[in-house]
C-alpha cells in the first residue's frame, strides 16, 4: 500500500508543470498484476524501475512515455561507445522473471537509456526520437524479442541477447 502512495506522488511530481527536475524510482511492486504505466512530460527526467517476479504469476508489464528534455539517465549521463558494452544504468529499467514486456517511447532531447530483462518472455518495443539518442538493451533468458527505432542526430544502439 505504501508503494501506491509513492507511485502516485512520484507521477504527480514528475508531471507537475512547476517541477523542474523529474526523478522517479520504483524498486518493486507488491501487487499481483505488476503492471505499470509512466507518463513523464518535460524537464530533467530520470527513470529507474525494477519489476521482479515473486512466483505469483505476475507478468511484469511496463509502459513508459517520456516527452522532452534530458530523459533517461539525465545529468549522471554516460553510456557512449556501443552503449558502453550493454551495461544498463543511465535510466535503468529492469524486469526479472516471468513474461517481461516493456513498451517505451522517448520523444526529444538528450535521450540515453538502458533496458534489462532477465528470464522468461522478454519483449521490448521501443522508439527514441530526437537529439543525442543511444540505448543499450540486455535480454537474458528464453524468448528474447526486440523491436527498436531511433531517429535524429547522434543515434547508437547496442543489444545483447542470451538464451538459456
The three three-digit cell numbers of residue 110, written as one number: 538528450
The residue length of the chain stands at: 164
So what's the pLDDT on residue 15? 39
Backbone angles phi, psi at 16, to 5 degrees: -70, 130
Question: Residue 30: its pLDDT value, please?
Answer: 56
**Mode of pairing for the β-strands spanning 137-141 and 101-107:** unpaired
Expressed in percent and rounded to 5, the helix, strand and coil fractions of the chain are 15, 40, 50
Mean pLDDT score across all residues of the chain: 76
Per-residue model confidence (pLDDT) at position 123: 95
Higher pLDDT, 80 or 141: 141
pLDDT of residue 49: 87
Residue 95 has a CB neighbour count (10 Å cut-off) of 31
- For residues 147 and 43, give the distance between their C-alpha atoms in angstroms, rounded to a whole number: 27
What are the φ/ψ torsions at residue 81 (nearest 5 degrees)? 35, 95
Inform me whether the pLDDT recorded for 56 exceeds 70.
no
Gap between the Cα atoms of 161 and 164, Å rounded? 10
Q: Where are the domains of the chain?
A: 2-162
The pLDDT score that the predictor gives to residue 16 is: 38
Lowest mean pLDDT among 2-11, 36-45, 107-116, 136-145: 2-11
Instruction: Give pTM, 2 decimals.
Output: 0.77
The string of pLDDT tens digits covering residues 69-114 is: 887 776 666 666 655 555 667 888 899 888 899 999 999 888 888 8
Q: Which three cell numbers stand for residue 81?
A: 561507445
26-43 mean pLDDT:
72
Q: Is 93 helix (H, G, I), strand (E, B) or coil?
A: strand
Q: Which three cell numbers stand for residue 70?
A: 534530458
Which residues are CB-neighbours of 128 under 8 A, at least 6 positions away? 106, 111, 113, 135, 149, 150, 151
Whole-angstrom Cα distance, residue 77 to residue 125? 23
Amino acid at each position: 500500500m505504501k508503494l501506491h502512495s509513492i507511485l502516485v506522488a512520484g507521477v504527480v511530481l514528475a508531471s507537475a508543470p512547476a517541477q523542474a527536475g523529474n526523478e522517479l524510482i520504483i524498486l518493486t511492486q507488491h501487487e499481483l498484476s505488476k503492471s505499470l504505466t509512466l507518463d513523464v512530460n518535460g524537464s530533467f527526467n530520470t527513470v529507474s524501475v525494477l519489476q521482479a517476479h515473486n512466483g505469483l504469476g505476475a507478468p511484469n508489464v511496463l509502459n513508459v512515455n517520456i516527452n522532452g528534455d534530458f530523459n533517461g539517465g539525465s545529468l549522471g549521463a554516460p553510456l557512449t561507445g556501443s552503449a558502453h558494452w550493454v551495461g544498463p544504468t543511465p535510466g535503468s529499467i529492469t524486469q526479472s522473471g516471468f513474461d517481461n514486456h516493456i513498451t517505451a517511447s522517448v520523444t526529444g532531447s538528450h535521450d540515453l537509456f538502458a533496458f534489462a530483462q532477465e528470464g522468461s518472455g522478454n519483449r521490448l518495443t521501443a522508439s527514441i526520437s530526437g537529439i543525442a539518442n543511444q540505448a543499450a538493451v540486455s535480454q537474458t533468458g528464453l524468448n528474447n524479442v526486440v523491436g527498436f527505432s531511433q531517429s535524429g542526430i547522434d543515434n547508437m544502439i547496442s543489444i545483447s541477447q542470451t538464451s538459456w
